[in-house]
Amino acid sequence: MQTIEQISNLRGEINLWRQQGLKIAFVPTMGNLHQGHIALVEKAKLVADKVVASIFVNPMQFGATEDIGNYPRTMAADQEKLLTAGCDLLFTPTPAIIYPKGLDQQSYVEVPNVSQYYCGESRPGHFRGVTTVVCKLFNLVQPDIACFGLKDYQQVQVIQTMVEDLSMPIEIIAVETVRETSGLALSSRNNYLNKAEKNIAPALSQNLKWLAQAIRSNNDFVGLAQKAASNINIAGMKTDYIHICHARTLQPASIDDKELVILAAAHCGKARLIDNLRVTLA
């Protein structure tokens, strides 16, 4: 596996693959990789000839109150995991390479509507940072396919919308969430949990399951979501939001909708955890 920092070197390698007619899949990450990330690489290996991953802790998607300096960085371990998973090339640019003019002078990409609520409301500017860096990485890597994890369900919808709206010739493949045996969705932010918090955190996924069952026989979506939020708080977490939405538009679900998704975020100690569960009603 090659590790490349400079854009010119990345483009040179990509051009060689293109000349050979090879299909390229891309897995963008912020590092501190876990099995959820590796599942994306494994999926990419199945659908393409070459797999590119990136590790870039993107300052544009961190808010003023979020400490980017404490985001876990584990480059050596990440490289070993990617090598074992069969990644062909790792792109590791610095902020100066991605944003040479600085954040204040950087052009940006913003997706309306689908990015405005839930995590978009709780973390102002977050999705603008995500779409800007993903758009730039897409332009650099020029992949045929890009793989994203469904744990970040709203993010997947935002990126899919961006690709559609900007006519990017990239297929977005969404990969199922990888979970611990407790049901807790794997996340780099789980590293912030101490032992006691790790025991509390599965209450998030447990209440999503409860809510998914409850809405099959009760269409009081708002009341049921409030009950689930209360249960999460009683368990020792602090609910940021929990909403039942149309699975594609992410608008609040109506009683006529059949394809739904439950989106939730909650604080557990220092960690802000997100999760979701899709529900199909008869």
Give the tens place of pLDDT for each residue, 88-137: 999 999 999 999 999 999 999 999 999 999 999 999 999 999 999 999 99
The whole-model pTM stands at: 0.95
Least confident window among 55-69, 130-144, 169-183, 230-244: 55-69
Whole-angstrom distance, CA of residue 261 vs CA of residue 246: 6
To the nearest 5 percent, what fractions of the chain are helix, strand and coil?
45, 20, 35
- Whether the predicted pLDDT of 71 surpasses 90: no
What tokens does 213 get? 């069952």
Q: What's the gap between Cα 62 and its chain centre?
A: 14
- Which residues are catalytically annotated? 37
* CA 112 to each of CA 139, 251, 252, 260, 268: distance values in angstroms, whole numbers, following the listed order: 21, 13, 16, 20, 29
Which option is the CATH number for 2-175: 3.40.50.620, 1.10.10.410, 3.30.43.10, 3.40.50.920? 3.40.50.620
Q: Which CATH superfamily is domain 188-280 in?
A: Pantoate-beta-alanine ligase, C-terminal domain (3.30.1300.10)
Domain ranges in the chain with CATH number 3.30.1300.10: 188-280
pLDDT value of residue 150: 98
Classify 261 in phi/psi space as left (phi over 0), alpha (psi -120 to 50) or beta. Answer: beta
DSSP string, 73-91: --HHHHHHHHHHHT--EEE
pLDDT value of residue 72: 87
Q: Which residue in 59, 79, 60 sits closest to 71, CA to CA?
A: 59
27 in helix, strand or coil? strand
pLDDT value of residue 142: 97
Whole-angstrom distance, CA of residue 105 vs CA of residue 85: 37
Q: What's the gap between Cα 25 and its chain centre?
A: 17
- Whether the predicted pLDDT of 64 surpasses 80: no
